Amino acid sequence: MNQKVYVILLRALFSLFGGFMSFAYIAFMKAAGLSSFQVGLILTLNLVVEALSYVVLITFSIPRNIIFSALLVPISDVLLLLRNIYGFILIAIISAISSAIYSAVIIIQKDFTKRDYSVMLGSVAITSIAGIGLYYLSVFINVDLLILTLLPVLIFNVIISTRIKYKETEESFKDFLQSLKSSGKTLFVVDFLIALRRTFLQGYISLILLSVFVNYAPQRISLYLTLFQIPAIAFLFIGHKISNKVYLILSVLELASFLFIAVFYNLSLFIFLSAITLIHILSSLRGPSAEQAIVKTLHFSTKLSALFNLLDIIFSSVASLIIAFMLEFSLYSAIVLMVGISNFLLDLTIYKMLQKY
């Protein structure tokens, strides 16, 4: 098989398990009787270990990173069979290490074209949603059987990881500092703006909807939010056709969508969701171009990529605090306006990167 196919398969299967764990992990902890405080501590542990793993990756070189990362995933899956606090703690540690390595090793995408990124991002989005939906199969089959059903898929992913051939160049810490000097300022700006956007769209949209549209049951809001986001996935597969000029036009349209929400956020749930869907569609069309530009700016370096992801964790925490503080005063319009303007600044920065490459 083509090396690019192996990489796309690897990313997609990682995303399948990631989607499953994003819902099932918390659901299993709650079903095991853990309090919300204990669940929060374990999730925090996961975040801390992931951050420390990025620090290690910045400092040291680990050969065959991808294989090691893929091996840790089926171990996490088997540990789910325990479903006790000790198993959950081990999963938090192991999955954090695996996730850090998996997301930092971008050298495997060095030969990717914009079309390849388009296919990969679309595949990852589909498998992530499928992973979330897998948990609901526990209504029909035994939970242990559901967990074990994933095991052959994850072992297959380990085999795929062994088929991916790549060789990272030896990079001294001095070389890393030099690369950071040449692209560090741009990466810092891009990283913070991405963290702010993602924190809003993935972490706080649901909370704003629940706070504004109190006449709707939470279950209905959850269903509508999911259904309205699914159509955006299809646009990832045609994102490689977008030129730089069209990228800029789509960015302006997205800013207009944010401004519309800022003014009319409480008009109707379906108008709000339609505007969010449009934002996701416009983002999906620009996604492959943005992904390619950012990866090139990182020079396909694991060390730079690890730093980028470490900063992402820090900036996401800061962004979450800012938005949470504004929510305390019900500043919904101000939040949307802030995210919309910062998102447009992000698009302008990426547009300059696209012009460069």
pLDDT value of position 270: 92
Q: Which amino acid type is present at position 148?
A: L
Mean pLDDT for the stretch of residues 286-307: 90
Question: Which has the minimum average pLDDT: 130-134, 244-248, 320-324, 345-349?
Answer: 130-134
Q: Which of 102-116, 212-226, 266-280 has the lowest mean pLDDT?
A: 212-226
Three-state secondary-structure class, residue 62 = coil
Per-residue pLDDT, 131: 87
Q: How confident is the model at residue 121 (pLDDT cuts 50, 70, 90)?
A: very high
Helices (H), the chain: 3-31, 36-59, 65-79, 85-104, 114-134, 143-163, 173-198, 205-212, 218-229, 232-236, 244-264, 269-297, 302-328, 332-356
Q: How confident is the model at residue 102 (pLDDT cuts 50, 70, 90)?
A: very high
Query: Cβ atoms within 10 A of the Cβ of 94, count?
Result: 18
* CA separation for the pair 95, 90 (Å, rounded): 8
Q: What is the mean pLDDT of residues 261-272?
A: 92
Q: What is the pLDDT of residue 280?
A: 93
The pLDDT of residue 1 is 62
Structure tokens at 329: 């005063």
In the predicted model, is pLDDT for residue 324 greater than 80?
yes
Both tokens of 213, joined, read 């549209």
Q: Scan for tokens 């339609």, then name that residue.
A: 274
Please tell me the predicted confidence (pLDDT) of residue 63: 67
CA 168 to chain centre: 24
pLDDT-derived band at 116 (thresholds 50, 70, 90) equals: very high
| Nearest CA among 14, 15, 239, 246 for reference residue 119 | 239
Alpha carbon separation from 72 to 94, 130, 238 (Å, rounded): 6, 21, 33
Tokens 């955006």 map to which residue? Answer: 232
Rounded-to-10 torsion of CA 89, 95, 98, 102: -150
pLDDT band at 300 (very low <50, low <70, confident <90, very high): confident
pLDDT, mean of residues 84-97: 95
* CA 281/CA 39 separation, integer angstroms: 33
For the chain, what percent of residues have pLDDT higher than 70?
97
Indicate whether 258 pLDDT > 80.
yes
Is residue 13 within 8 Å of residue 127, measured between CB atoms? yes
Average pLDDT over residues 110-136: 90
Residue 80's pLDDT is what?
Answer: 94
Tell me what pLDDT residue 36 has. 79
Q: What is the pLDDT of residue 7?
A: 95
Residue 177, pLDDT > 80, answer no
Return the amino acid letter for 203.
Answer: G
| Type of residue numbered 269 | L
**Residue among 283, 232, 236 at smallest CA distance from 257:** 283
Residue 74 predicted with pLDDT over 90? yes
Range 86-102 average pLDDT: 95
For residue 109, what is the DSSP state?
A: G
Which tokens in the block code for residue 172? 């001294």
**pLDDT at residue 95, as a whole number:** 95
- How many CA atoms are closer than 13 Å to the CA of 72, on its beta-carbon side? 20
Q: What is the pLDDT of residue 309?
A: 93
Angle, helices 218-229/269-297, rounded to nearest 10 degrees: 50
Q: Look at residues 121, 111, 186 and name the one whose alpha carbon lies nearest to residue 354.
A: 186
Percent with pLDDT over 90 in the chain? 58
Query: Region 16-42: what's the mean pLDDT?
Result: 88
* Residue 133 confidence (pLDDT) above 90: no
